[in-house]
């Protein structure tokens, strides 16, 4: 991207990550950690392979990511956020929180990968009972199951099904997201096709307010 050439923090930040696709690459690395080229391509549907290669070069040159070459036994290289690149978490959280209302309806042409929900969900999820034994909430929507677990005072949303979930939340993505963010009471969510099985306390432990 051509620099804005403005001595301004916002403009300088955009010089680094304002290119199309760049922040979505950062999103994938924030959610999934170290990723191979094909992991990134799969996690960012729509990106052209040449642009992915271009952006990875740009982001590495900017110091946002590093390319970790594989250890000798013919493995494959992975990409990782630098500590500075990790600092973009707050930017993506702010942007995700701002754009949250746009997720209330889902366009038919929108692709959904369940792990993307981790960004808006973790913004709202907490652990209201950190001294209690840990519980697991499985979330089923989109292309793969996810599960929420308490992690030192907060909550994290991880990929995959839970081994022995204490509760399971199912439904269309906007409904599931509404429940997780505390915007939709369970009763309303049920009327919208949502489904909850297990101890309601599990949900209350993680979600805001009521």
Partner DNA sequence: CAGCATCCGCTTTGATACTG
Partner DNA sequence: CAGTATCAAAGCGGATGCTG
List of residues contacting DNA (CB under 7 A) = 1-2, 19-21, 36-39, 46-51, 53-54, 56, 76-77
- 110, 131, 163, 164: residue in contact with its own copies (rule CB under 8 A): 110
Which element (helix H / strand E) includes 198?
strand 195-198
Mask: binding to its own copies, 64-103, rule CB under 8 A, as x and -?
--------------------x--xx-xxxxxxxxxxxxxx
Map residue 103 onto helix, strand or coil. helix
Q: Which is nearer to its own copies, 36 or 93 (CB)?
A: 93
Q: How far apart are CA 33 and CA 82, in angstroms?
A: 11
Query: What, of its own copies, DNA, none, does residue 68 touch, CB below 5 to 8 Å by kind?
Result: none
Nearest to 29 by CA among 47, 44, 49: 44
Query: What values do phi and psi take at 199, rounded to 5?
Result: -70, 120
CB 198 within 8 A of CB 168: yes
CB 171 within 8 A of CB 159: no
Query: What, of its own copies, DNA, none, does residue 164 touch, CB below 5 to 8 Å by kind?
Result: none
Instruction: Give the shortest CB-198-to-DNA separation in angstroms.
Output: 36
Mask: binding to its own copies, 30-69, rule CB under 8 A, as x and -?
---------------xx-----------------------
């Amino acid at each position: 991207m051509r620099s804005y050439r403005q001595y301004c923090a916002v403009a300088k930040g955009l010089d680094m990550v304002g290119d199309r696709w760049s922040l979505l690459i950062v999103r994938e690395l924030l959610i999934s950690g170290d990723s191979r080229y094909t992991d990134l391509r799969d996690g960012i549907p729509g990106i052209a392979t040449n642009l992915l290669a271009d952006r990875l070069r740009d982001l590495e040159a900017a110091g946002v990511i590093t390319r970790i070459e594989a250890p000798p036994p013919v493995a494959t290289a992975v990409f990782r956020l630098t500590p500075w690149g990790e600092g973009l978490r707050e930017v993506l959280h702010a942007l995700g929180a701002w754009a949250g209302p746009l997720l209330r309806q889902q366009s038919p042409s929108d692709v959904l990968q369940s792990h993307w929900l981790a960004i808006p969900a973790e913004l709202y999820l907490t652990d209201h009972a950190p001294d209690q034994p840990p519980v697991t909430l499985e979330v089923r929507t989109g292309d793969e199951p996810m599960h929420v677990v308490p992690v030192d005072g907060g909550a994290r949303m991880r990929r995959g099904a839970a081994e022995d979930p204490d509760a399971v939340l199912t439904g269309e993505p906007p409904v599931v997201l509404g429940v997780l963010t505390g915007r939709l009471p369970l009763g309303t969510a049920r009327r919208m096709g949502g489904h909850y099985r297990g101890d309601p306390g599990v949900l209350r432990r993680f979600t805001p307010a009521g």
